[in-house]
Amino acid sequence: MDESDVIEVGGVIATPSREHRRGWRRLAWFLVVPCAAWALFQLAGLRFGVLGVVVSTATPYAAAGALVAVLIAALARARAAAVVGLLAVAGLLFQVTPRAVATEQPAAGGPTLRVLTINIMMGEADSDVLLDLVRRLRPDVVSVQELEPWAVIALSRKGLPDILPYTHLLPRRGGAGGGLYSRFPLTALPEFAPRRGHEMPYARLLIPGAPPVDIAAVHPVNPVKQGTRTWRAGLASMPASGGDAIRIMAGDFNATLDHPEFRQVLARGYRDAAEVIGAGLTPTWPANWRTPPMITIDHVLADPRVQVLSVAAHTIPGTDHRAVFAELRLPATLS
């Protein structure tokens, strides 16, 4: 090989520029700071206006976003941002993770009470599918929200009162009505809902082998459409648990476990049935959209003396809410 055969190979070994690294670090902080603020506000239980109420519903997704932010901070070698991101992840997971973990319950020795709650979207829910669901699940009581006067007639024609003959119905136009259909005799109790809010029928069930059961068809107003003040008043109006009866609140709360107002309802002596069995992240709204349900605003809240056996969500055509079905075992006596 002579000199004419020698091929010279040249080049420069490139390393990321400082400006490039700074860009990734800025992105890391851009993602980490909102997640950290989110975690701080949620843990502090601060109240928000309409925008804050809406944004709070996405807290479970914010926890996933915080994990992504930490990964980007790590790749950018932004140690401070990674630490802040990890703290945000810890704070958000501290609030969200318990919903996916079953908790200890009392071993109740009384009869089983099956509760079904459904927002029928001003009567537009497919009544045939709803009646089929009732026949299949055999609920002892059905809590109905957005019960229009004409919907009462439609459900009667389909035979719902033949299955659940005892009722406490407060139908109203504009989605403000509500009702209870029961297999057991019931007695209407004084209403607790604010005058400017939706109807929330409240009644006492007499069930053989169990203490009296007070149950309400819950439906505070939509905080976006009717305002947060009326929404908060509806949540705050709910009676506390305990005393001489087992109390159950079932319905469309227009609130998730991420709202401090809803957690204050729980603090009055209730447990979210889905959260108790580790199904608290099951979304119930919006149903029947092009996108799948994303948030959990339909709940069955039970007295802590009640044992939760199962909770499941069911989709019914015609309504933007999924029905929630809970099997509860009641205590034989009150202690």
How does DSSP assign 257-288, residue by residue? TTSHHHHHHHTTT-EEHHHHTT-TT---BS-S
Q: How do residues 110-119 score in pLDDT, each as one tens digit? A: 999 999 999 9
The CATH number assigned to the domain holding 175 equals 3.60.10.10
Looking at the chain, list the stretches that DSSP marks H as alpha helix, in order from N- to C-terminal side: 18-44, 50-56, 59-75, 79-96, 127-137, 149-158, 160-163, 228-236, 260-266, 273-276
Which has the minimum average pLDDT: 22-36, 121-135, 155-169, 265-279?
22-36
- Whole-angstrom distance, CA of residue 164 vs CA of residue 186: 11
Does residue 138 form part of some domain?
yes
Task: Give the count of domains, the chain.
Answer: 2
Residue 15: pLDDT band (50, 70, 90) is: low
Kindly state whether residues 228 and 96 are assigned to the same domain. no
Question: Both 234 and 167 in a single domain?
Answer: yes
Average pLDDT, the chain: 92
Q: How far apart are the first and last CA of the chain?
A: 101
Residue 13 lies in a domain: no
Kindly state the average pLDDT of the residues 20-41. Answer: 83
If asked whether residues 137 and 88 sit together in one domain, one would say no
**Structural contact between residues 125 and 118, judged by C-beta atoms closer than 8 angstroms:** yes
Indicate whether 107 belongs to any domain.
Answer: no
- In whole angstroms, give the CA distance from residue 319 to residue 292: 13
Q: Where is the domain boundary, 51, 80, 100?
A: 100
Domain-embedded: residue 152: yes
Residue 7, pLDDT > 60, answer no
Q: pTM, whole model, 2 decimals?
A: 0.90
pLDDT for 145 equals: 98
In a domain, 9, yes or no: no
Residue 1: is its pLDDT beyond 80? no
**For residue range 217-262, what is the model confidence (pLDDT) as tens digits?**
999 999 999 999 999 999 999 999 988 999 999 999 999 999 999 9
Last residue of a domain, one of 79, 100, 121: 100
Is residue 316 situated within a structural domain?
yes
Q: How far apart are CA 173 and CA 327, in angstroms?
A: 31
pLDDT of residue 234: 97
Q: What domain range includes position 69?
A: 18-100
Cα angle vertex 174, ends 169, 175, to 5°?
Answer: 55
Sign of CA dihedral 323, 302, 173, 230: negative
Alpha-carbon distance of 171 to 166, in angstroms, equals 15
Q: Are 41 and 138 members of one domain?
A: no
